[in-house]
Amino acid sequence: MKCEIIRDLLPSYIEELTSEESNRAIEEHLKTCPACRKYLEEMQTSVDAPEIKTANAKEINPFKKLKKRTWKAIGATVLVCALLFGGAAYYYGHEWTPSSGDVTVKCEKVGEVVTLSFFAKDEKLIMESYLDYSLDDGSEQVNLQMHRQNPLKKPTHKGAYFGYTFLDDDTIYNTDGNKRKLTDEDVVTIKYKDKDVKIKIKDLADGKL
Ligand SMILES: [Zn+2]
């Protein structure tokens, strides 16, 4: 066979499109014709080259996809965490003023100290109190706040407490250590959501509400 015919057939031969009969003829010729062997070699390298590129591209593409997917997953995880954390922070950090019906109030006298304590009736809730001395008439106001018990943060206390140290039935020690003579005007106001409860401090002297 003529080299020209062989070379015409070589592209098909490389792609394995030629018949067995043609293959035999081509291979016979190649055995005896170094020029056509070289031609075939060159063809194979030039055909292989894009194949290598494709192979590389295929290798890179899934990697890129994986990378993209990984980033998406990381992004989603971060977002979910942020939402969970934010949600939890809000859920457990959120405080509200309780209604009087949601609160158990206890009064206890130990020695000179009378302590008022406030507990949420719902055991999953924690009570906090903020004592407000800033009222114009010098009276005190307790602002009760409650929040949910964070399961990851064991509370040091579940109730809110405040108290007075009584020198006698109508004298207390102020927080600054000075004595304070009590009159009927000396009241402490407990702020609930539904109402304010005023308690005469004098009435607490016996440790009863
Ligand atoms: Zn040849």
- pLDDT for 97-117, tens place per residue? 999 999 999 999 988 889 999
Specify the DSSP class assigned to residue 158: S
Label the pairing between strands 187-191 and 140-148: parallel
CA–CA gap between residue 208 and residue 180 (Å, rounded): 20
Q: Tell me which DSSP letter residue 182 carries.
A: -
For residue 28, what pLDDT is reported? 93
Identify the CA nearest to 185 among candidates 204, 195, 200, 205.
Answer: 200
Per-residue confidence (pLDDT) for residue 207, from 0 to 100: 87
> What's the 44 CA to ligand 1 centre distance in angstroms?
16
Please state, for a pLDDT cut of 90, what percent of the chain lies above it. Answer: 39
pLDDT lower than 70: segments of the chain = 1, 47-66, 133-138
| CA separation for the pair 108, 133 (Å, rounded) | 22
Reported pTM: 0.59
Interval between CA 26 and ligand 1 midpoint (Å) = 9
Give the pLDDT of residue 129.
84
207's torsion region: left (phi>0), alpha (psi -120 to 50) or beta?
A: left
Distance 49 CA to ligand 1 centre (A): 24
Å from CA of 7 to ligand 1 middle: 8
Give the pLDDT score at 197. Answer: 93
- For residues 148 and 92, the answer to whether their CB atoms sit within 8 Å is yes
Spacing, Cα 8 to ligand 1 middle (Å):
11
